Amino acid sequence: MSSSRIVKKYPNRRLYDTELSRYITLSDIRELVMNGTDFQVVDTNTNEDLTRAILLQIMLDEETGGEPLFSAKMLSQIIRFYGGTVQGILARYLEESLSMFVQQQEQLNNTVGSDPMKAMTSMAEQNMKIWSEMQKNFFKAAGLASASDRERERTNKKE
């Protein structure tokens, strides 16, 4: 992350943008995120990377005001995965899912002027294939492959 913008967090909880040479707020950090700016928040005393903590703080602010993105049920389900054997798998699964969603959103935005129903149908078919493959890989990595997948794997090994 050498080319990323550095934001320093001081003990008084203030954030300092080294590129702008001024103090900024969480709202300013949110703007960096919304603009796709690559940045890193570091503690001035320990040099510890605090980026995740700051992003979680922004998410908490977003969740408590307005309409939340995460339901209590969804948050409970995510919390149950912490410390479990599939925590890393779930993290990759969610990250890939969000990446795919962003790509699909961009594709949809690029279809302006073309047949929207054809574009939606094509995307839906593509989504089904991708989701099916992601889900199969997720369950396989978690040791929960379906009986048909296990049988197919045994048959392929014999050949």
What confidence tens digit (pLDDT) does each residue in 14-68 have?
Answer: 999 999 999 999 999 999 999 999 999 999 999 999 999 999 999 999 999 888 9
List the structure tokens of 44: 């001035």
Q: What pLDDT, on a 0 to 100 scale, did the predictor assign at position 102?
A: 86
126's CB contacts (< 8 A; 6+ apart) are 104
Decide: 41 and 9 in contact? Cβ < 8 Å. yes
As a whole number of angstroms, the distance between CA 101 and CA 127 comes to: 9
Is residue 101 scored above 80 in pLDDT?
A: yes
Classify the C-alpha dihedral 94-33-38-22 as positive or negative: negative
The H or E element that residue 83 is part of is none
The H or E element that residue 121 is part of is helix 116-141
pTM: 0.69
